[in-house]
Chain A
Amino acid sequence: MAWRVGIAEYRVGCRPEIFKAAGLGSCLAVSLYDGELGLGGLAHTLLPGRRQEGPLVGSAKYVVDAICLMRQALLDDGAQASRLVAKLAGGANMFEVEFLSQVDGIGARSAHSARAALIEQGIPLVAEDIGGNRGRTVEFDLATGQLIVYCARDRSTLRL
């Protein structure tokens, strides 16, 4: 049974939980994992960058905020910063380029933002499945640290 992680949400937990972020279009899913303790988190982020004003609420809407909050939550739970690894999935461009110019390439921008934040936080990015124009559903298995990316349109599964 998997815990659903909806848009702008993140969850942290420990093995043997499974977290699921479904219907990722331009949204970007970020997973963090401490393999030794089996502690990890999954965020379903919507926007690149960070919240511009106001206090940092417990929301994963912005990918940079989500990474920071998840990382802190994991450290609070006893994970070791040096052991954390990250994986990314999503960031697709669902519609053709001419449509929705404001959101053009938002998926790519989110991914870029995430990568920068991970470097800043010192978390190595060990796998990713980014871009394209297919929707994805990811399941993050805390028992193994594996990110299983399922693409409904293709009916394909990728294990990261």
Chain B
Amino acid sequence: MDMSQYRALFLSEAREHLDQMNQLVVALEREPGDTEAVNALFREAHSIKGMAATMGFEQTAQLAHQLEDTLDHCRKSGGLPVAVADRLLDAIDLLEGLVDDIAADLPERDISAFLADVVEPAVLAVAPKDPPDLPLDALIEIDEELVLTPVEEEDIEVLPETEVFQISVTLAPDVAMPAARGLLLLRELGKHGEIVSSTPDKDALLTGQVFEQISAWFRTSLQRDHVRELLLAFPDAAEVVFVEDRRSPKSTPGAEAARTVRVRTDLLDRFVNLAGELITQRHVLQSCARERDWTTLDPALERTERLVRDLHHHVLRTRLMPLETIAGRLPRIVRDLGRKTGKRVTFHLIGGEVGLDRVILDELADPLVHLVRNAVDHGIRDCGEVIVKARRERDLVLVEVSDDGVGMDPATLRAKAVQKGLLTQTQADALSEREALLLVCRPGFSTAAEVTETSGRGVGMDVVKAAVENLGGNLEIDSAPGQGTCFRLKLPLSIAIIKLVLVRCAGLPVALPVTRVQRIIEIPRNQVESQEGVLFFSLDGARVPVVPLAGLLGRLGQSADPVGPETCIVLTEWQGAPLGLQVDGFIGHRDAFVKNLGFPFDQMVGLSGATIEGDGSVLFVVDPQPLLAAWSTDVQTGTGETMPFQQLSEIQRDAFKEVSNIGMGHAATALSQLVGKRIEIYVPRVLVLPLAEVPERLGGAEKLMAGIVLRIEGETPGSIMLLFPEESACRLCSALLGEEVTSLETQETVSTLKEVGNILSSAYLNALGSLIGKTLLPSIPGFAYDMAGALVDALLIDLGRQGELALMVETEFGGELGQGHKVRGHFFLIPDPETFESFLQEAQI
């Protein structure tokens, strides 16, 4: 059998007993003569002792034993003396500590100091009733004094490196002198370990009592199989059975304490019934399908639906646990705190039987303690009452923690907030009474000076509020000076826990519902291929399209994560076919309660909720389906424009293109006149891109180009760049200089090209300027012949200072200069972002 199961049971039961004991002692303090309570206490201590001894937790057993003795004494003397109450509570605390040690797989702490420090005289010696160690030979010697007494199972000590087995040996039916055989067997066993007890015992054997079996509790360091072999080798041993081998001082290393929950048996019965009925329905449905009996199918489906609903309802009910479960320790806390602060505080729990979701209870335990502590510490002056009240209201559970103490003054709270610099005076004045009271929940509101030892230690009011909200609930505070304070927690009845898959995308953790994730695949980056602008990879022989999740989230180009040779694909489904979402990496799985978000987040496509991580950071849950729907529409229009630039609308874009076109027309005319040949312009494009992609759009970051750059001076500044591939530049110069030009490095070519730039820009800006009613003038141009990327740097500097995106209008132009010599160039207008708005306004776009 699995030891860890028992251990978990031990832990949960021990804690329950200790909880009960706390409550009993506190109650007894008020009514010391309550003999029934003392009896109950005694029984609790006894249970703990028994369990601990059974499990081999010696220190715990010893302490429980001492407790038991003390209580026995009290039982006999008819009451609980006051001094003893404190000692008992200390003992209970120590027991809790021991249980914590056990839960954490640590050795039990040393309690000898506590045990030695005896208050009442009636504490007995602490050793458990252990049978004296006997050499087995003595038995055979028939030494009357050395008797093996049968012992209670629970009193058997377990020593390290040994196991205790309960063995049952059946002797052969026709054996002569079975008694003697039995004694010899015991002696044989005794050579390999210690027989703690046996049935029939030595006495019985000595009387020649007839028996068929010997059962013995045997402590040994041998392995079970070895012992079995030993016994079977014994003549006349017909059968050897190990009844149970549950005793081992070593608990399973690293075994996690399984959480247990108590469920009423009638609820379990209901489950059994429902399961049975569902099985019946399954048969009905199966036969309907087989015989194509559609008339019977409908009612059968209806019935199934009802059963499933019923089942779900009951399953949820098992998750409900009474508030009492976490409120059990509150009376003790109030009592201790009252003593410490010298106040007389009574505590009442109303509605402890109200059921709350198990998960909510877990989360609520610490905040509840904090609220109660607060009430005693800050609410009550010298005597008063703290009440915890719970009740159900439709689909909510209301838990109130109230005190009849000094109350809180909204005015004082306002002043304090201003004084601490959390709010300005105007802001503070603008708060309603309720909002002012909630100020206590602001982080930083309570200073260290006010955080006493008893309250505010690691759990502040802000944490309480966050915990309540994290559960999808609400915290309200009601208070007035002199009228006490009431903290009202509104909690949902149940919590949806959703399994999430966490991935890293564009430098952020992003959660996806596991229902949307079929598989997570890590593949070498170069297996993601591109064809006609579509990414895909091969999976099981099929081509699966790939979409970067960062793109769906509008965060392309923002990944600064370490780039490894592998990339991560989250396989999901889109319109019935598999689709891969490319992410930076897979973080892990998470079970989390996901909150729905309010306005305006609920308007965002693809955002299905959020959850709060352990460190307080928010994790957004993204549903890729609606994002993919939006994405595919974008892809289909194929505009080539990738990102919004300060809400540049289609209309604005088109208008901007048009304006630029007009300007460009003038520029082309000017160039035509210059070279004496027709120059044409092609369709301009408006591009909005991250800075990093600009060089690529210019023809390639490393492409050697002749570039002329200049600034636009005036009220709507920006930059203009003209790029010519090398041969075009040379041909242009040749045409203009009237001689063959092969190098772009001479003074002449440089000047010429600058002049070209000047003429083109002037014409352009002239036209643009008159359109928007402004004077735009080109600066003196600069020239360089180098890589396109290197040329554009300078233009991006100002843009870079202001944002992450570049907006540019690009127009390709060209013509034939005779003898089939083609000339091509690109004209770029890059407006400064901050003046772009006004530019649009002026142009009435």
Contacts and interface: CB of A to CB of B under 8 A. Distances in A.
Interface of A: 1, 3, 6-14, 17, 22-27, 44, 46-47, 57-61, 69, 73, 76-77, 92, 94-96, 98-100, 102-103, 106, 133-137, 152-153
B793 A27 contact: yes
Interface of B: 507, 526, 557-565, 690-696, 701-702, 704, 709-711, 779-794, 796-798, 800-801, 804
A69 B737 CA distance: 51
30 contacts: A6-B693, A7-B692, A7-B796, A9-B560, A22-B701, A22-B787, A23-B702, A23-B788, A24-B790, A25-B790, A25-B791, A46-B800, A59-B560, A61-B804, A73-B561, A73-B562, A76-B562, A94-B790, A95-B782, A100-B779, A106-B797, A135-B784, A135-B786, A135-B789, A135-B790, A136-B790, A137-B789, A152-B786, A153-B785, A153-B786
Contacts of A77: 562
B560 A58 contact: yes
A94 B786 contact: yes
A8 B695 CA distance: 12
Contacts of A152: 702, 704, 786-787
Contacts of A27: 789-790, 793
A25 B793 contact: yes
- Residue in A44, A57, A92, A96 with the greatest tally of chain B CB atoms within 10 Å: A96
Contacts of A26: 793-794, 797
Given A25-B793, A58-B559, 14 more contacts: A6-B690, A8-B804, A23-B702, A25-B790, A27-B793, A57-B507, A58-B558, A99-B779, A99-B781, A99-B782, A135-B790, A136-B790, A137-B701, A152-B786
Contacts of B704: 152-153
Interface centre among B559, B793, B797, B800 (most CB of A within 10 A): B793
Shortest 5 CB-CB distances between A and B: which pairs? A23-B789, A135-B790, A6-B692, A58-B560, A95-B782
A92 B560 contact: no
B646 to A, nearest CB: 17
B803 to A, nearest CB: 10
Interface centre among B559, B786, B798 (most CB of A within 10 A): B786
Nearest to A133: B784
A46 B797 contact: yes
B789 A25 contact: yes
Contacts of A57: 507, 558
A1 B781 contact: no
A6 B692 CA distance: 5
Contact of B793 (A46, A58, A61, A96): A46
Main secondary structure of the interface of A (DSSP, over half): loop
Given A25-B793, A59-B560, A9 B692 contact: yes
Nearest to B806: A7
B794 to A, nearest CB: 5
A22 B353 CA distance: 71
Nearest to B526: A1
Contacts of B800: 7-8, 46-47, 61
Nearest to A23: B789
Given A22-B695, A77-B562, A103 B798 contact: yes
A67 to B, nearest CB: 13
Contacts of A9: 557, 560, 692
Contacts of B702: 22-23, 137, 152
B703 to A, nearest CB: 8
B791 A94 contact: yes
B530 to A, nearest CB: 14
Given A8-B692, A73-B560, A95-B709, A47 B793 contact: no
B694 A7 contact: yes
A3 B567 CA distance: 13
B753 to A, nearest CB: 12
A60 B560 contact: yes
Nearest to A48: B797
A1 B527 CA distance: 13
B563 A12 contact: yes
Contacts of A60: 560
A103 B797 contact: yes
Contacts of A96: 782-783
B786 A98 contact: no
B560 A25 contact: no
Contacts of B779: 99-100
Contacts of B701: 6, 22-23, 137
Given A23-B702, A58-B559, A46 B796 contact: yes
Contacts of A153: 704, 785-787
Nearest to B779: A99
Contacts of B792: 23, 25
A1 B563 CA distance: 14
B562 A103 contact: no
A158 to B, nearest CB: 16
A100 B791 contact: no
A76 B507 CA distance: 14
**Highest count of chain B CB atoms <10 Å: which of A6, A25, A99:** A25
B778 to A, nearest CB: 11
A63 B794 CA distance: 15
Contacts of B693: 6
A92 B561 CA distance: 28
Contacts of A103: 794, 797-798
Given A6-B692, A58-B558, A134 B786 contact: yes
Contact of B786 (A7, A14, A25, A106): A25
Nearest to B711: A100
Contacts of B781: 99
A149 to B, nearest CB: 13
A102 B691 CA distance: 19
A117 to B, nearest CB: 17
A147 to B, nearest CB: 17
Contacts of B794: 25-26, 94-95, 100, 103, 106
